[in-house]
Structure 1
Amino acid sequence: MTNPKSLPICFWGVCLILSLYLGAQAQPPRGPLVVSPKINADKTVTFSYLAPTAKSVELSAQFEKGPVPMTKDAQGIWSVTVGPVKPDIYPYSFRVNGVTVMDPANVAFFPNERFKASLVDVPGDTPLIHALRDVPHGSINYEYYPSMEGTTGSLVVYTPPGYDQNPSKKYPVYYLISGTTDTEETFFKVGKTNLILDNLIAEGKARSMIIVMPYGNIAARVAEQKGGSKPADPTVRDGADAVKRANDFAEDLVSNVIPYIEKSYRAIPNRENRAIGGFSRGGGQTLRAAFHNMDKFAWVCAYSSYLSPQEMDGTFSPIVNKPNQTNKQLKLLWVSVGSDDFLYKGTVEFMDYLKAKKVNFKSLITDGGHTWMNVKTYVAATTPLLFQP
């Protein structure tokens, strides 16, 4: 029997080459390189998707009114150029033979409980408020805390520039809640809240603050961690199920999240240095949590959200029946909405209701709909108002 050690080096070299060749032969063939999206100098954007055997591919983007057909080249790459597109961040996806898919050539995506769209960031000629600029930057931390029913909750936490350099300094905290089907990452990855604050702080327009971004769907998390199925979202925004879930969130926030943050971070632990805000469902959670806990929050921001007059009259009568007291307690009550938002009517009615009840508030009505483009505008408008003397 031949001793393997006695075989010549050239034999092992041939074996190595043969194994590499066979290994390469076993790999599936690689298709052509696809670059997508490609942002052109004139603000048009080219989207591409490799699908040689597909019968149809369409682009679905938030800046388009409907699906846009794409055309296939000889390599099987489907492409379309659209625009020019107004500078901002937009979700988009492809429909391949009627099936919605993400862009596999793009690592940026929209965190969501359901379908995760891809994201395209069209820069402005002058950097937008959410753009990455050459300024001092804060940090993003992922945190886990003991939550309701023995589950583990998740948070994304922004600390401002200089937080780690001055261990004796304490900061106010803004609790910021995403909308229905969004996750704790959405204000970070889509809303670019960290970059907005970095830029505003660098310009001297906003105070340095901690921003805490929790996951708003307590029922889904409990079901997931206990082996159940995610419950369907409430069908009525102010129905009993929606109100119960909002109250559960408020209980988790007050009893678990705030104590965890004030133990783990250098947070100033009083109502004058706590703000709460949210978008859509998160805005409803914001209003309910704040109005139930006026001893906890002095700054309240509702983005594309409202409470009905019936709920205000019934559940929160002290807020509206004692407006002078409310106005002294709340250093800011903010309500904003887009003119094309499907919640526009209810939000404007809420503003009119507060005005009739003599409850002070600031408001902003923008163009556009129920979008994260508007949310970034609202964050940029409200954070300079928070924690001011």
Structure 2
Amino acid sequence: MKLKAIIRLFGLFAILAIPKIGRSQPPRGPFVVSPKVNPDKTVTFSYLAPNASTVLLGGGQFGAVDVPMTKNAEGVWSVTFGPIKPDIYPYSFKVDGVTVMDPANVNFFPNERFKGSLVEIPSDSPAIYALRNVPHGAVTYEYYPSVEGSTGTIVVYTPPGYNKETSKKYPVYYLISGTTDTEETFWKVGKTNLMLDNMIAEGIAKPMIVVMPYGNPAARIAEQKSLSKPTDIVNRDSEDAVRRAKFFETDLITNIIPYTDKNYRTLANRDNRAIGGFSRGGGQTLRAAFNNVDKFAYVCSYASYISPAEMDKNFTNITANPDKTNKDFKLLFSGIGTEDFLYKGTVEWETYLKEKKINYKSYVTDGGHTWMNVKKYLNETLPLLFK
């Protein structure tokens, strides 16, 4: 009886203690709304850090380089910047010298090396990548058996009506993001899915499947083996760059394409298969396409190139018979910004193609090596595919 009484007494103390424990929880800080896009296209950025000494706004792509923020009585640092030209931009905060994302913002830039948040400044008329009241496709994450026994990841866009018209087959665009980007970047930053939704609704682009792979299988292998990721490529024309591109090409040709054709209703032939990519992904695109002319009829290089020296060494199959190459590739696209650090190399490559009588479509815009420009390249090329 004494033991039961002790247990009952202990239970009573525990029940009585619950409200006290609840009251002892530290109060929440003020609710922070960030970023806040204002009607005049200025943006107010805020960050809660009551104990910080300094907080700076970093948004170099819209002109904000280490902009000081001001702290209020509640410990919220804020600054209003702009007006900013309509587009989608990455930004971050530097808190006492440490760069961090915006914890009040769920939209972030998928990347291996940095984690920036995203802010979208809407234009007065809806942009081609804006969310509109049109039929929408689906975005799906997939795992597939990859190189060296690893598990690879792809993001797949299927067009509106894919799940209803179950007998219809579709062409496929393999779209590879840049150095340190991930399989999510063409979706979350490039807005490829929304661009295609809008273009398909307007009759500008054909309904297609888009497969967005992770362009760095060596990093995925290292991650799954608890090893350090390989360092970034510095020299894009180096033997290491070519070797890594070949490694990805092997994964693409032997794993990704067969997996896609098996699990999705694809038109599994070269005339209905396109490949494109940005930066490192553009170099991977060109090498994979030139090594596998039987696989791809549409090739889109976004801010990338192959040097004339490498072309002469590895791709005489492309230059030796220009008539055949021009017949094989229904589109060979090269897009570049005049402020891009790869502009000079891209122009040299295009000049080389012209001298070799290889047909290509050149698109030159302003701006640099940014995802703002990538959306421009997509806007130019998506309507040209599979026509």
Aligned to 1:184: 183
CA offset at residue 65 of structure 1?
A: 5.2
Contact 2:285–2:300 (CA<8 Å) still a contact in 1?
Answer: yes
Q: Measure the CA separation in 2 of the matches of 1:16 and 1:185.
A: 48
Match of 2:279 in 1: 280
**Equivalent of 1:32, from 30, 52, 55?**
30
Check conservation: 2:47, 2:77, Cα contact below 8 A: yes
Displacement of 1:17 after TM fit? 6.6
Deviations, residues 179-231 of structure 1 (Å, cap 9, x unaligned): 00000000011111100000000010000000000000011111222232211
Q: Given residue 304 of structure 1, which amino acid in structure 2 is its aligned partner? A: A
Which residue in the other structure is 1:140 paired with? 139
Q: SS of the residue aligned with 2:282?
A: helix
2:288 match: secondary structure? helix
Partner of 1:195: 194
Q: Distance in 2 between matches of 1:184 and 1:142?
A: 9
- Alignment correspondent of 1:59: 57
Deviations 1:243-285 (A, max 9, x none): 0010111111011000000000000010000000000000000
Q: In the TM superposition, what is the alpha-carbon distance from 1:159 to its structure 2 partner? A: 0.1
Structure 1 segment 1-389 matched on structure 2, within 5 A: 1=1, 16=15, 18-25=17-24, 27-61=25-59, 62-64=61-63, 66-388=65-387
Q: CA deviation at 1:235?
A: 2.2
State the Cα deviation string for residues 289-329 of structure 1 (Å, max 9, x = none). Answer: 00000000000000000000000111001211211110000
SS at match of 1:369: coil
Give the direction of change, closer, same or farther, for the CA distance of 1:44–1:17 in structure 2 (3 Å limit). farther
In 1, Cα distance between equivalents of 2:317 and 2:330: 17
Query: So what's the TM-score if we normalise by structure 1?
Result: 0.95
Tell which deviates more after alignment, 227-236 or 321-330: 227-236
Aligned mates of 1:208, 1:16 — CA distance in 2? 62
Larger CA deviation: 313-322 vs 170-179: 313-322
In the alignment, structure 1 segments of 5+ residues that lack a partner are none
Post-superposition shift, 1:29? 2.4
Find the aligned partners of 2:145 and 2:132 in 1 and give their Cα distance: 36
Runs of 4+ with >6 A deviation: none
Counterpart amino acid of 1:163?
Answer: Y
SS at match of 1:66: strand
**Which AA in structure 2 matches 1:250?**
E
**1:17 & 1:386 partners in 2: Cα distance?**
69
CA distance in 1, matches of 2:162, 2:23: 50
Instruction: Report the alpha carbon displacement of residue 18 of structure 1 after superposing the two structures with TM.
Output: 4.5
The answer to whether the Cα contact below 8 Å between 2:87 and 2:122 also exists between their aligned partners in 1 is yes
Q: Distance in 2 between matches of 1:310 and 1:24?
A: 72
Note the C-alpha offset of 1:355.
1.0
Comparing 355-364 and 279-288, the one that deviates more: 355-364
Q: Tell me the distance in 1 between the aligned counterparts of 2:122 and 2:328.
A: 40
**Per-residue CA shift, 1:14-42, capped at 9, x if unaligned?**
975751332231x2321111110000011
Between the two proteins, the alignment pairs up a number of residues equal to 384
Letter in 2 for 1:203: E
Q: Percent identity?
A: 67
Q: Please state whether the residue corresponding to 1:254 is helix, strand or coil.
A: helix
- Cα distance in 1 between the residues matched to 2:43 and 2:323: 52
For the aligned residue pairs, the C-alpha RMSD in angstroms reads: 1.8
> Counterpart of 2:198 in 1: which secondary structure?
helix
Q: Gaps spanning 5+ residues in structure 2: where?
A: none
Distance 2:259 2:23 in 1: 52
Give the alignment's TM-score, normalised by structure 2: 0.96
Deviations 1:309-352 (A, max 9, x none): 00011100121121111000000000001111111111111111
